[in-house]
Amino acid sequence: MTRAESIVVGTELPPLQVGPISRLTLALFAGASGDHNPMHVDLDAAKSVGLPDVFAHGMLSMAYLGRLLTNWVPQDRIRSYRVRFAAITPVHGEPSCTGLVTHIEDVDGERRATVELAVTLADGTTTLTGDAVVAV
């Protein structure tokens, strides 16, 4: 875990690289998350709307970014966390999660850092952008 006083504007979070997303991962995430949308696990459903293949749940990538955050600070310091889903993640995609502290301020007597977050794939596609506010 990171010592709070060492966190300043410009601090980069230790990046998190995730291996290729397999169909098994999508099946496990469908069951574990309760998101049974067939577009993520059923090739027939994907093809019925003209897609070549299933694609990963957006919330799976948001969970990876959540791991980036909880690897960095204890979870009870996360005040808020939000993302925008910018592009779909294909099967076998390899998400790379990054975070950068862009702002620090005192709120209600608490020192809080804003962390800009992103997930990108090996081909450079940005799939998620977002931010989190973390007590430091």
Partner 1 sequence: MAIDTRVIGTALPTTTLTIDRGRLRFFAKAIGETDPIYTDVEAAKAAGHPDIPAPPTFLFSVELENPDPFAFLASMGVDLRFVLHGEQAFTYHAIAYPGDELVASPRITNVYTKKGGALEFVVKHTAITRADGTPIAELNSVIVIQNPGVKP
- The answer to whether 118 contacts partner 1 (rule: CB under 8 A) is no
Q: Least CB distance from residue 127 to partner 1, whole Å? A: 12
Q: Which of residues 7-36 bind partner 1 (CB under 8 A)?
A: 18-19, 25, 28-29, 31-36
The piece of 4-12, 44-52, 98-106, 107-115 that touches partner 1 (CB under 8 A) is 44-52
Strands of the chain, DSSP E: 16-17, 78-85, 96-107, 110-120, 126-135
Q: Could you give the CA distance from residue 106 to residue 132 in angstroms, rounded to a whole number? A: 15
Which of 4/32 has CB closer to partner 1? 32
Q: Least CB distance from residue 82 to partner 1, whole Å? A: 3
Six token digits for residue 57: 């749940």
- The answer to whether 103 contacts partner 1 (rule: CB under 8 A) is no
Which residues neighbour 90 within 8 Å (Cβ) at sequence distance 6 or greater? 53, 55, 56
Six token digits for residue 39: 């577009």
Q: Which CA distances in Å does 30 have to 27, 36, 40, 59?
A: 5, 5, 8, 10
Six token digits for residue 64: 């990876």
Which of 64/101 has CB closer to partner 1? 64
Q: Could you give the CA distance from residue 115 to residue 112 in angstroms, rounded to a whole number? A: 10
Identified binder of partner 1 from the candidate list 9, 53, 70, 102, rule CB under 8 A: 70
Q: Which residues lie near partner 1 (CB under 8 A)?
A: 18-19, 25, 28-29, 31-37, 39, 45, 48-49, 58-60, 62-64, 66-67, 69-71, 74-76, 78-85, 88
